[in-house]
Amino acid sequence: DAGVIQSPRHEVTEMGQEVTLRCKPISGHDYLFWYRQTMMRGLELLIYFNNNVPIDDSGMPEDRFSAKMPNASFSTLKIQPSEPRDSAVYFCASTSTPDQQPQHFGDGTRLSIL
Amino acid sequence: AQSVAQPEDQVNVAEGNPLTVKCTYSVSGNPYLFWYVQYPNRGLQFLLKYITGDNLVKGSYGFEAEFNKSQTSFHLKKPSALVSDSALYFCAVRDRGGGFKTIFGAGTRLFVKA
């Protein structure tokens, strides 16, 4: 079975540009999570969805970040405008009820903002 | 507030020797506890989880973890380490009945020397 699929795997762009990260969760999973991983801050939860509805976005760093889930098989995380401090690895993960289930992670998008 | 502590940034062990990666947590109630492993340029992979019952949980690749309620610990163990076990290990907790928000530790890097 296909796992969580993220694209692109690597993104290099200049400061001020819009960045869009994409995620396809595992089919049948009704929870989707976006995380950011850096050396300094470790793994941070940015936002998570249940049945395409955002449940907790308290980890979204600022208004430059937005996330959407238009359907059960697709989600995007956008940064506009991007800044060098946004450079990190961004992970998408999915899981399903009951709440004892582990999360399944994609292989991440390595984002570099110059 | 919920928290997870992995007191060691790095653990070094010789191949064939037993290994332990430590984790302590602070959360109200009885949490679900997880261990994940991350290899370079990959997402986190689920190793094992504690839900209830036997305090010794067995997982993938010969790993096991011991839940200790009085010490609020969930240490990861393996009787005989392999060089291929070298990776970054994350302990995680989730509040039982509190939704899907999962708190991850900072990670412990395991080096297994041949």
Q: What is the pLDDT of residues B62-92, one digit of tens each?
A: 999 999 999 999 999 999 999 999 999 999 9
Residue type, A19: V
A28/B contact by beta carbon, under 8 A: no
The CATH number assigned to the domain holding B55 equals 2.60.40.10
Q: Which amino acid is at A70?
A: P
Distances (CA, A) of A20 to A30, A47, A79, A88, A100: 22, 15, 7, 14, 31
In chain B, how many domains are there? 1
pLDDT at B97 over 80: no
Cβ–Cβ under 8 Å, residues B8 and B106:
no
Subunit contact A99:B94, Cβ cutoff 8 A? yes
Task: Give the tokens for residue B44.
Answer: 């986190």
CB contact under 8 A, A102 and B104: no
User: Using the 8-state DSSP alphabet, how is residue A100 labeled?
Assistant: T
- Give which of A39, A96, A99, A104 to mutate to test B binding, by max B Cβ within 10 Å: A99
A96 touches chain B (CB under 8 A): no
Task: Answer yes or no: are the C-beta atoms of A75 and A23 closer than 8 Å.
Answer: yes
Q: Is residue A59 a contact partner of residue A39, using CB atoms and an 8 Å limit?
A: no
Mean pLDDT by groups of 10 residues along chain A of 114 residues: 92 97 96 95 94 94 94 97 96 89 95 97
Domain of B99, in residue numbers: 3-113
- Mean pLDDT of all residues belonging to chain B: 93
* Backbone φ, ψ for residue A22 (5° rounding): -125, 150
Residue of B nearest to A99 (CA): B100
pLDDT at res. A1? 64
Share of chain B above pLDDT 90, in %: 82
